Amino acid sequence: MPNENSTAKPVDSLVVARFSGISTFMRLPYVPDGHGVEIGVVGVPFDFPTNRGGTRHGPSQVREMSRLIRRYPSSGGESPFDQCAVADMGDAPFNPLNPQSAVEDTSAFFAELAGRGITPVACGGDHAVSYFVLRGIVRDGPIGFVQFDAHPDTSEELYGDRYNHGTLLTRGVQEGLIDPKRTVSIGLRGTRFSRQDRDFNVEHGMRVIDFDEFEKLGRDGVIAEIRRVVGDGPCYITFDIDALDSAFVPGTGSPEPGGLTMRDAQVVLRGLAGLNVVGADMCEVSPPLDPQGITALNGANLLFELLCITAPAVSRRRSK
Amino acid sequence: MPNENSTAKPVDSLVVARFSGISTFMRLPYVPDGHGVEIGVVGVPFDFPTNRGGTRHGPSQVREMSRLIRRYPSSGGESPFDQCAVADMGDAPFNPLNPQSAVEDTSAFFAELAGRGITPVACGGDHAVSYFVLRGIVRDGPIGFVQFDAHPDTSEELYGDRYNHGTLLTRGVQEGLIDPKRTVSIGLRGTRFSRQDRDFNVEHGMRVIDFDEFEKLGRDGVIAEIRRVVGDGPCYITFDIDALDSAFVPGTGSPEPGGLTMRDAQVVLRGLAGLNVVGADMCEVSPPLDPQGITALNGANLLFELLCITAPAVSRRRSK
Amino acid sequence: MPNENSTAKPVDSLVVARFSGISTFMRLPYVPDGHGVEIGVVGVPFDFPTNRGGTRHGPSQVREMSRLIRRYPSSGGESPFDQCAVADMGDAPFNPLNPQSAVEDTSAFFAELAGRGITPVACGGDHAVSYFVLRGIVRDGPIGFVQFDAHPDTSEELYGDRYNHGTLLTRGVQEGLIDPKRTVSIGLRGTRFSRQDRDFNVEHGMRVIDFDEFEKLGRDGVIAEIRRVVGDGPCYITFDIDALDSAFVPGTGSPEPGGLTMRDAQVVLRGLAGLNVVGADMCEVSPPLDPQGITALNGANLLFELLCITAPAVSRRRSK
Amino acid sequence: MPNENSTAKPVDSLVVARFSGISTFMRLPYVPDGHGVEIGVVGVPFDFPTNRGGTRHGPSQVREMSRLIRRYPSSGGESPFDQCAVADMGDAPFNPLNPQSAVEDTSAFFAELAGRGITPVACGGDHAVSYFVLRGIVRDGPIGFVQFDAHPDTSEELYGDRYNHGTLLTRGVQEGLIDPKRTVSIGLRGTRFSRQDRDFNVEHGMRVIDFDEFEKLGRDGVIAEIRRVVGDGPCYITFDIDALDSAFVPGTGSPEPGGLTMRDAQVVLRGLAGLNVVGADMCEVSPPLDPQGITALNGANLLFELLCITAPAVSRRRSK
Amino acid sequence: MPNENSTAKPVDSLVVARFSGISTFMRLPYVPDGHGVEIGVVGVPFDFPTNRGGTRHGPSQVREMSRLIRRYPSSGGESPFDQCAVADMGDAPFNPLNPQSAVEDTSAFFAELAGRGITPVACGGDHAVSYFVLRGIVRDGPIGFVQFDAHPDTSEELYGDRYNHGTLLTRGVQEGLIDPKRTVSIGLRGTRFSRQDRDFNVEHGMRVIDFDEFEKLGRDGVIAEIRRVVGDGPCYITFDIDALDSAFVPGTGSPEPGGLTMRDAQVVLRGLAGLNVVGADMCEVSPPLDPQGITALNGANLLFELLCITAPAVSRRRSK
Amino acid sequence: MPNENSTAKPVDSLVVARFSGISTFMRLPYVPDGHGVEIGVVGVPFDFPTNRGGTRHGPSQVREMSRLIRRYPSSGGESPFDQCAVADMGDAPFNPLNPQSAVEDTSAFFAELAGRGITPVACGGDHAVSYFVLRGIVRDGPIGFVQFDAHPDTSEELYGDRYNHGTLLTRGVQEGLIDPKRTVSIGLRGTRFSRQDRDFNVEHGMRVIDFDEFEKLGRDGVIAEIRRVVGDGPCYITFDIDALDSAFVPGTGSPEPGGLTMRDAQVVLRGLAGLNVVGADMCEVSPPLDPQGITALNGANLLFELLCITAPAVSRRRSK
């Protein structure tokens, strides 16, 4: 069944110059009320004051740099905008001075989206954002979780705080949002706080493909392993931009050298086509640390790759 | 008569954090069709490839930096948003590869606005933008013209081209858009192409307050002189950001040291309250030359000052 | 009576090159336990996630840029290091993820300093830092308060939060730390959240010298007025770096054009010699927004000016 | 036969410090009239105002960064300056405000060079520059064309304009300058305007090695394929700097992640030694987007690699 | 008597776009051998490794930014290029790793210029450059000296070294190059190494107009005082860019807040017309600390102002 | 035998936020007198004025960026801080204006360390620093030398100077500090001053693994070859940051494209575990050329990798 909203397309750069017009993601229609939307691109400009911050400005700069992205994927295949009604829904609302209510407010926002059948592709903000989205959209038991990241984010708490970018997977598993057996973390590396940094992952049977193993498996092997772990059930994909080598992402809070190239990321993400994606996000772009915008450009491209995986999944679910 | 659209206000930074939401000017409502709008903030992302360019990205960055501006003026007086229905109407459309059609397209856009009773406050783009707006809005004979600028912009042509940022006043006068006797240029200074640089101004009886005279008159004297020259008739105000000393505007194409401070600009603009403003613009902010955004911040503040002069003029005209 | 610790001096740049050695403020001795210290330079790397942040990195960059400052004041007069035992005591400890406990922790730190007779010269962090220090050091009733700032910081609350950079004076007055009759705020300007922005100041009889009045009074008039309001009693001086025109401080969260020059600030601060200063701070330098460090350089110079006022006050109190 | 002008060498960095002297390419002699020159390094500071521009400043910054390059190639082999008389001939002249005459003027300039037996190695400017050079130097039927690029540049027109960086190959083929059967485009990737983006290439039998195939073939396979397609006839090599992964070239108008590394480029270019090169260029370095100059540094190094391929070709033709 | 070389003019920006062509100062002819030159603009890319360096790259960036300067002065008066034969002579040669021989080599270079009747307008490099020039050009006893600077540069030595940017005036006076009674230092301010920082000036009867006095005298008073001290005899003018407030010159080694504005500098320099200038320089622009080039732009403008004073002096001497 | 000083650890980022506290390397204890220290991290802020400099500011910025490094290695293995007493000893003292005495002073400093049994891990400064350290610590005949670098540093002299970053290995071999047969240089590449650039290496039997061979051998092959050449005897490891591809290190004086990735460096360095390291350094980070600090971040990570190799070597020597 064709989608009646399929006329909602990004502005065509061959008709209106890229520098022109209001900054929405890829200059998509701005539909804050979500009317007729199947996939909502949503900013979540939230960041905790732990160290080098500024990701609260991420959605704005990612939108700006996304002007450079064209509507069709690199493969020459179908555009996600031909498959689904996609719109920029603006930013999720919350109180920046009250992290506790921010958790509630943003979760409620995504729950409402889920209730209306809108699949979110979110743009952080810091990595706590994934938890916010999951809390909103997971209704029928834990889902699969594909995490690109330099860090495990499996602390029990951080400075005594339980809801933040370092405890994302811990809370997700403990609260029944994430299925640890269907979770895979790709790209982990870098110095560790302690020798226990990955114990939580091991104890819960979560699959970790650290960067040493990433190189051993090769991109095809990584793709196969992700698909094996996650299977056909509903899953969520999160891309913490620091999964990339720090040379590609100077503008993030905790840059780690020795990681994925953008090419690695692109190839692996394209290999995930067909997963039953029910939500996705890209996080941790910090504009104040990225005056030339190259980190945001990579983030915008990754958001588009996530859209290219999510759109057919939404289309398939619609057809059922 | 109260304005029925007066509920159209910028997002309140005390309710929604400044970093949140789509970038419109001061986070005003985005009303591309102009329905119910009295003052339309319009971007004109046009720049000629003469030297250090990039002002085509100006509207986008000025919108971004305008998040920092609050709704009430420094004086504590009435907000322009309480006086008029103001909206961000997005960018004027044109073909970036055809300067000739760009002149026509943008002029037509502003002519349509004028026809619908919408007063434009434009954001360049380079200084040719003023000419585009004037061509659109001037219908009943030449109007007064208040120009803040380091350069006279009174060349006959530039590299053989007749419509550009260097010929703005020449064309404006020759085509009956600008009344030279009601024109005043404030802040001129800097090295000159030739000893004839200001001959056009002299020949047509245009008032020039170069920066030497600016200092002699003092701000109050400058204000009085502008008011004297322009009088009560309809007038247009243009602020080329390079009127400011280059220390305030590193991000512009032709920065000139030794000019106005932002304080000078603010005080003089506030002194122009009561002029019968029928349009205004701020031009020449170039984001690629301004990675920290300080030029755009100044530009955004000046746009707000222009709004504060324009809104009561619109209100007065509505009341007649 | 000479001070036995007076041998504690900054590293002499004529002996050890400025780029050499650990970054303490002006390369002062690093004395974290405060032993023998009379004036403690203390970093308070605290910032709230309200908008453009990053002042948590302020103390580190201010220390780095302070390498450029020489030991003797511009006047050629006595060095503060000849008058008192000054040391860099490092940063006040607190939990960055718990603003509530941060208030308690930092206040307790400064209270301990006060109990040991150490006068603090603090480096923010955001402007909430002044409140933290005041809570620690005020013991015998409200004190005088000299505030250089673009913004009044007299909100009742911000996003429902009562302790932050926007409520500094409100809480200070309400909790009996600041004497509103001996308070003077210099440099206020810029757009306002509402027409009520300065009502608190008026209601409590606090003296506001906004920038319009600053220019009318002239620097000498401003100095005289500050001295008149504050009188001889104990007082605190806080310098929010955004009191300066934004051209001087690109690297701050809420830059406001049209304000003080560094020269204005230097002359007025030098005119405050003789005040009975019991604490001082400089706040709101944000390194991520200031890649060339020019804001931090100004901040470091202002901290030195504050030291030059504080040292003789400490010396006078010691002599009594 | 030795070349009588072979004494024309870059300034030796072991004799005159690199930071010293006028900026010519590698501090070569500046010979604007081309007297005695066999290979002329020529800047073409032309860019169209389509989106992120600024490549008009490319030649100047590439010259500046080329101070870092030494006279002998990495291999330790012969220097191009020992093989040919190479000089910096300055910039091709044209009217920046008239794209139509710019095409004519620059083409005429290169035609004159060709007439005098000077082989051009050009530095853009945007990628339209290749077309300008080809129009000038191709006299005896279409030549082979080796294109390193992220984008095919095979649009029929752009915003209605037929001569620009997006139509380079279309015009080149249509006007008999480029032999499509002897054309190979290396490194194509990234999102597409439409599903027809590469139809022109296919229809005309042009060989495309997109980045997917680049990785499959490996560098040696790519070299072999380029040599097979181009053969022994005269050919032109153009390197659009955005062929490189965006991490290597933040300072270009349309950066694309997921592309060649500089190592890839160096190895493949070195593998092209022996081709019958009759002209070459490197384009799309934009200094305003590259404040640290790292893009220009890569561009300068690539220009030197092009010189190392071109010099022996010139030498061989001279010997015939 | 007309000057036969008066055809040597900067490239006209109305004919050849500013971004085009090799970077010489204002795109003047490049005449390394000085043939027919009356005023030679000469770079001296020398800097000592004392603290924040990089001024060795100053001449190159000042040349680049000088593209923005037009040929006629702000006053509309005669162009220096109509009065004298001015050329860019490139950089003075020296060994960067041997400060001792650098002194000799550069002095010899300027001595040769002087011997041939060429008046130098030099561009540093650090402030030691003034000493190098003076050593070369002073032949008939000490000359007058006009110094714009934040620092006195009257140390006896620095880290045991006698020839550097901190000992310029000391050596100049001791070696009979500078007449202390005809010396005036304008703009001194900032923290001091010791209370003896200005003793040398006092002891030798050198006139110091520190910034406190600068404000008291006003610009006209300063001009009058400079003219009184220097008189009609031959004199040298040096402008250390840090005389300007640090907001105008982020890119210098020892930025000092609270100094001259560019306007102050322009007005005072223009007031020095008629002095018998036999040489001049502008120093201490450091490009690595100035990625946006705004410091170099100011430096280039000041060099032009120096040219405007020097050219009539040369013309007058020619006419005698 | 356990080390009694093993309580000396970096500040734990899980307890004290990373942005807090004085900048020492990884926030290690600052122990300038070296009491109880086994491995001293020492800054050597020395750089010669040859071209793009600024590495004198390297130690300070590397310390600042090292806040991001956690205490345990990527492998999850033992922390170097559990194996040895490590401290930041500040910077080696020397006179920046006298290169000759700087050689003596720094060498003496490291000799004293060696005499007290403290193993140095140094942070440059430019690459001459390795020579300074070697002169201090080599007592019993030449030692093995592992050099990561783009350039051979085997000139006989540079501009007539014998002790600098270009003559490091020449002097080291000639003075019996470095054993050429146990020397291996990894990563050499880039344009050459002359065809003789590597003759010294060949003549003395030094092993060169240039980047072409690096790729051929692969990382494991490189590791094996380094271990074969160096053997079990005492050795020194130096990492010139320009061994990395310039995309990873924009902030260095002589960036060379086409080199190691950070991943290459990490894997190879980790493969050197077990070498008998008696000293190590990382050099050539230049903060003025690296405003976002990404070069310094890589340098800090490499210093940590060097610590991870050095600590077990020190531990093994202690146990004997």
Chain A interface includes B21 (CB < 8 A):
yes
pLDDT-wise least confident of D291-305, E192-206, F9-23, F148-162:
F9-23
Q: List C-alpha distances in Å: A313 to A180, A319, D196, E140.
A: 22, 10, 25, 88
The alpha carbon of residue C272 is apart from the nearest alpha carbon of chain F, in Å, by 31
Secondary structure of chain F in HEC code, one letter for each residue = CCCCCCCCCCCCCCCCCCCCCCCCHHHCCECCCCCCCCEEEEEECCCCCCCCCCHHHHHHHHHHHHHHCCCECCCCCCCHHHHCCEEEEEECCCCCCCHHHHHHHHHHHHHHHHHCCCEEEEEECCCHHHHHHHHHHCCCCCEEEEEECCCCCCCCCECCECCCCCCHHHHHHHCCCEEEEEEEEECCCCCECCCCCCHHHHHCCCEEECHHHHHHHHHHHHHHHHHHHHCCCEEEEEEEHHHECCCCCCCCCCCCCCCECHHHHHHHHHCCCCCEEEEEEEECCCHHHCCCCHHHHHHHHHHHHHHHHHHHHHHHHHHC
The alpha carbon of residue C287 is apart from the nearest alpha carbon of chain A, in Å, by 9
**Which of D49, D51, D164 is nearest residue B49 as measured by Cβ atoms?**
D49
E-chain residues within 8 Å CB-CB of F161?
Answer: 97-98
What b/e sequence results for F170-195 when a residue is b if at least 16 CB atoms lie within 10 Å of its CB, and e otherwise? bbbbeeebbbbebbbbbbbbbbbbeb
Can you tell me the distance from the alpha carbon of B240 to that of B285, in angstroms, rounded to the nearest whole number? 8
Instruction: Give the SS3 label for residue E197.
Output: coil
B-chain residues within 8 Å CB-CB of D99?
Answer: 97
Contact D49 B161 (CB under 8 A): no
Q: List C-alpha distances in Å: B162 to B101, B166, B167, E68, E133.
A: 14, 9, 7, 22, 47
pLDDT in tens, C219-272: 999 999 999 999 999 999 999 999 999 999 999 999 999 999 999 999 999 999
Which chains, if any, share at least 3 CB pairs under 8 A with chain D? A, B, E, F
- pLDDT confidence bin for A3, thresholds 50/70/90: very low
Contact C97 A57 (CB under 8 A): no
Measure the CA angle with vertex A311, ends A308 and A313; round to 5°: 115
Alpha carbons within 13 A on the beta-carbon side of D132: 36
Provide the token pair at A217. Answer: 């498996």
What is the pLDDT, as a whole number, of residue B233? 98
C95: number of Cβ within 10 Å: 18
Chain D interface includes A250 (CB < 8 A):
no
Reply yes or no on whether the pLDDT at B104 is more than 70. Answer: yes
A35 Cβ contact partners less than 8 Å away, ≥ 6 residues apart: none
Under 8 Å between Cβ of E282 and E241: yes
Secondary structure of E288-303 in HEC code, one letter for each residue = HHCCCCHHHHHHHHHH
What is the pLDDT, as a whole number, of residue B49? 83
At A103, the amino acid letter reads V
Contact A17 D50 (CB under 8 A): yes
Which chains, if any, share at least 3 CB pairs under 8 A with chain B? A, C, D, E
What is the pLDDT, as a whole number, of residue F12? 82
pLDDT in tens, D203-252: 999 999 999 999 999 999 999 999 999 999 999 999 999 999 999 999 99
Q: Is F136 left (phi over 0), alpha (psi -120 to 50) or beta?
A: alpha
Provide the token pair at F177. Answer: 């500090």
Provide the token pair at A82. Answer: 């031909």
Is residue A90 reached through a cis peptide bond, with omega within 30 degrees of 0 on the bond before it?
no
> What ipTM, to 2 d.p.?
0.95
F-chain residues within 8 Å CB-CB of E94?
Answer: none
pLDDT in tens, F165-209: 899 999 999 999 999 999 999 999 999 999 899 999 999 999 999
Average of per-residue pLDDT across A52-71: 96
Alpha carbons within 13 A on the beta-carbon side of B216: 8
**Which of B50, B54, B98 is nearest residue D288 as measured by Cβ atoms?**
B54
What is the pLDDT, as a whole number, of residue B6? 43
- pLDDT confidence bin for E272, thresholds 50/70/90: very high
Reply yes or no on whether the pLDDT at D3 is more than 70. Answer: no
What b/e sequence results for B263-294 when a residue is b if at least 16 CB atoms lie within 10 Å of its CB, and e otherwise? bbbbbbbbbbeebebbbbbbbbbbbbbbbbbb
Under 8 Å between Cβ of A265 and A146: no
B156: number of Cβ within 10 Å: 12
Which of A161, A164, A192 to mutate: most F Cβ within 10 Å? Answer: A192
Chain A interface includes F247 (CB < 8 A):
yes
- pLDDT confidence bin for C4, thresholds 50/70/90: very low
Under 8 Å between Cβ of B89 and B31: yes
- The stretches of chain D forming alpha helices (DSSP H) are 58-65, 80-83, 99-115, 128-137, 168-174, 199-203, 211-230, 262-270, 294-319
Reply yes or no on whether the pLDDT at A285 is more than 60. Answer: yes
Reply yes or no on whether the pLDDT at E4 is more than 80. Answer: no
Average of per-residue pLDDT across F116-137: 97
Which of A12, A294, A298 to mutate: most D Cβ within 10 Å? Answer: A294
- pLDDT confidence bin for A97, thresholds 50/70/90: confident
For residue D175, what is the DSSP state?
Answer: T
Under 8 Å between Cβ of A74 and D192: yes
Residue of C nearest to B77 (CA): C195
Residue of E nearest to D22 (CA): E90
Average of per-residue pLDDT across F49-66: 94
- Average pLDDT of every residue of chain C: 94
Which range has the top average pLDDT, A17-26, C97-106, E5-14, E176-185?
A: E176-185
Residue of A nearest to F249 (CA): A247
Q: Which residue is it, tokens 């922790």?
A: C105
- pLDDT confidence bin for D276, thresholds 50/70/90: very high
In terms of DSSP bridges, do strands D119-124 and D143-148 run parallel, antiparallel, or are they unpaired?
unpaired
Under 8 Å between Cβ of B168 and B151: no
What is the pLDDT, as a whole number, of residue F281? 98
Reply yes or no on whether the pLDDT at F256 is more than 60. Answer: yes
Can you tell me the distance from the alpha carbon of F143 to that of B278, in angstroms, rounded to the nearest whole number? 82
What is the pLDDT, as a whole number, of residue D100? 83
Reply yes or no on whether the pLDDT at B2 is more than 50. Answer: no
What is the pLDDT, as a whole number, of residue A10? 84
Under 8 Å between Cβ of B84 and B121: no
Reply yes or no on whether the pLDDT at E291 is more than 60. Answer: yes
Q: Which residue is it, tokens 């790759």?
A: A305
- pLDDT confidence bin for F8, thresholds 50/70/90: low
Q: Compute CA F168 distance to the chain's CA centroid, rounded to the nearest angstrom.
A: 13
**Which of C17, C76, C247 is nearest residue E51 as measured by Cβ atoms?**
C17
C137: number of Cβ within 10 Å: 22
Q: Compute CA D43 distance to the chain's CA centroid, rounded to the nearest angstrom.
A: 11
